[in-house]
Amino acid sequence: GAVVDRLTSLVAAAPDAARATTTAPYTGLALAEFPVSTPADVAEAFARARRAQLRWAQVPVEERERILLRFHDLVLDRRNEALDLMQAESGKTRRDAFLEVTDIAITARYYARTAARLLAPRRRRGAIPVLTHTTELRHPKGVVTVISPWNYPLSMAAGDAIPALMAGNAVVQKPDTQTALTALWALDLMREAGLPADVWQMVVGRGSSIGDALIAGGDYLMFTGSTASGRRIARDAGERLIGASLELGGKNAMVVLADADIARAADGAVAACFPSAGQLCVSIERLYVAEEIRDEFVAAFVERTGKLRLGAAYDFSVDVGSLTNTAQLATVTAHIADAVAKGATVLAGGKARPDLGPLFHEPTILTDVTPEMTLFAQETFGPVVSIYPYRDVEEAIALANDTTYGLNASVWSRDGAKGRAVAARLHAGTVNVNEAFAAAWGSVDAPMGGMGDSGLGRRHGADGLLKYTEAQTVAQQRLRGFS
Ligand code: NAP
């Protein structure tokens, strides 16, 4: 109660604001009540952010780094609070929530250690003889709009704000209402770590009501969500000629080569398909297996999937948690029903589990999936994977690339060089060899993002920071007798 009151009081909204209520996925019971921001509240937040940003940009990067390191320590000290909030709001397991805590700690430490170097002026030799040198400066964009989804409420919310703040920007953010407590928890800790209040603000409300104000107020847009929403928002950002980075959907493929270690590949498939009940943008929904090992691999994968413990627990005793909202459960059940009606075979799972809670669904493995079925090409964003056999590597690559998306992929082989050669030919921003999703998750110093319909721009690494800056080139002419 007290924690909820403190966190909801951080929302940038008028005192007499209308209220929105969220429910806990585990139980369906009311969880929190939020003030809802209006377009006027959003405009006011941008005005305050704009004033605060001018001062924040003058704070030396080294001081910004100290604040971020304090935030890092606070996150680790208070991790249990975050784990409870994330589980209550999203229905994910403790382990999945724990991954978010580690991710955000790693991201904070990485940018605290690298921001000063990445933002430092870069001197180059003059390109033509009359120039003594050119210098590349990196200025903050100004105020960055961050719109973040509900599936990874801490990683996505804080993970995108951190580099924007480190580059000297202010941030106005709209976390998804369902998981706004977790986002506000991160905001609270960052302020406790020393970030001036107006530099990072959060508004709560539906995109249909405050979306226009969020695009109108910012100098750069960071959006994470579905491809359909991303396309619409990018159009509005394009109209204003502001840059945008979009992290969108996927239909990620895993390719198990004939020489793969089958037991490890089956473990990998479980890890890749069912994190946060499949509500992870980089989780695997298409699995291509070499014909000669198909039966052995399927048996191993089905056996492991059958052993997964489903349920609601605020400890580490379960493997798969709940879906987060009724729309997700409806999509999952509709995709499976459509596939089964058109001839797909259920090898594992297949059913909702109302006995465990209103939004639980079994991890599900399908085969005999054909292009007429909705889930053949569309993202389910749930614990559902389809297995397809293939004859040779060329066919596997062609099938894996037969998608408009290009977010993440995974390749399994005992031969690392062969695995890497296949990886390089897959149309995906991150590819993992003998790994589920470490290239997207954990490799914080390397770019992560999507090709094709999976998005634009990259998070993590230098790209993840420098996209929040404007480059300015200063060229200086050599004048005799002057420096
Ligand atoms: P969504 O419907 O696009 O919503 C995502 C967020 O954007 C929500 O908080 C939503 O708020 C907001 N939003 C939508 N339209 C808006 C607008 N016009 N103006 C301002 N805000 C707007 O996506 P979702 O179904 O909730 O999330 C799941 C999707 O996100 C999946 O497709 C998944 O693959 C993708 N995702 C991608 C990544 C990645 O890194 N590539 C990471 C996580 C998730 P309202 O609902 O309140 O409007």
pLDDT value of position 482: 64
- Say which range, 168-172, 356-360, 475-479, has the weakest mean pLDDT: 475-479
Q: In angstroms, what is the span from residue 285 Cα to ligand 1's centroid?
A: 19
What ipTM describes this predicted complex? 0.94
Whether 59 has a pLDDT exceeding 70, the answer reads: yes
Which residues face 456 on adjacent strands?
Answer: 246
Report the nearest-CA residue for atom 39 of ligand 1. Answer: 247
Among 156, 176, 325, 448, residue to substitute to test ligand 1 (most atoms within 8 Å of Cβ): 176
Among 147, 212, 214, 463, residue to substitute to test ligand 1 (most atoms within 8 Å of Cβ): 147
Assign 3-class secondary structure to 203-253. CCCCHHHHHHHHHHHCCEEEEECCHHHHHHHHHHHHHCCCEEEEECCCCEE
pLDDT value of position 133: 81
Q: In angstroms, what is the span from residue 180 Cα to ligand 1's centroid?
A: 13
Query: d(Cα 9, Cα 133) in Å, to the nearest integer?
Result: 51
Q: What is the mean pLDDT of residues 401-423?
A: 97
Q: In angstroms, what is the span from residue 150 Cα to ligand 1's centroid?
A: 8
Taking the CA of residue 152 as reference, the ligand 1 atom at the shortest distance is: 43
Q: How far is CA 303 from CA 139, 275, 299, 308, in A?
A: 54, 17, 6, 9
Residues 258-284 have pLDDT tens digits of 999 999 999 999 999 999 999 999 999
pLDDT value of position 473: 92
Residues 15-53 have pLDDT tens digits of 899 999 999 999 999 999 999 999 999 999 999 999 999
pLDDT value of position 129: 67
Residues 146-164 have pLDDT tens digits of 999 999 999 999 999 999 9
Taking the CA of residue 228 as reference, the ligand 1 atom at the shortest distance is: 3
pLDDT value of position 461: 95
pLDDT value of position 483: 61
Residues 88-103 have pLDDT tens digits of 999 999 999 999 999 9
Buried-exposed string 327-348: b where 16+ CB fall within 10 A, e elsewhere: ebbebbbebbebbeeeebebbb
pLDDT value of position 284: 98
Q: Is the dihedral of CA 344, 348, 351, 352 positive or negative?
A: negative
The catalytic site residues sit at 247, 281
Report the nearest-CA residue for atom 35 of ligand 1. Answer: 225
Q: In angstroms, what is the span from residue 230 Cα to ligand 1's centroid?
A: 8
Q: What is the mean pLDDT of residues 59-71?
A: 97
The model's pTM is 0.96
Cα Rg of the chain, angstroms: 23
Residue ranges lining ligand 1, Cβ < 6 Å? 147, 149-152, 156, 174, 176-177, 206-208, 211, 214, 224-226, 229, 232-233, 247-250, 281, 379, 381, 407, 450, 455
Q: State the pairing for strand pair 30-35/19-23.
A: antiparallel
Q: In angstroms, what is the span from residue 169 Cα to ligand 1's centroid?
A: 23
Mean pLDDT over each residue of the chain, to the nearest integer? 96
Tell me which residue of 270, 271, 323, 322 sits closest to 298, measured CA to CA: 270
Q: What is the mean pLDDT of residues 296-320?
A: 97
Could you give the percent of the chain with pLDDT greater than 90? 93
**Identity (one letter) of the amino acid at 323?**
L
Q: In angstroms, what is the span from residue 211 Cα to ligand 1's centroid?
A: 12
Element housing 333 (H / E): helix 326-341
User: Residue 235, Cα to own-chain centre: how many angstroms?
Assistant: 21
Among 36, 229, 239, residue to substitute to test ligand 1 (most atoms within 8 Å of Cβ): 229
pLDDT value of position 270: 97
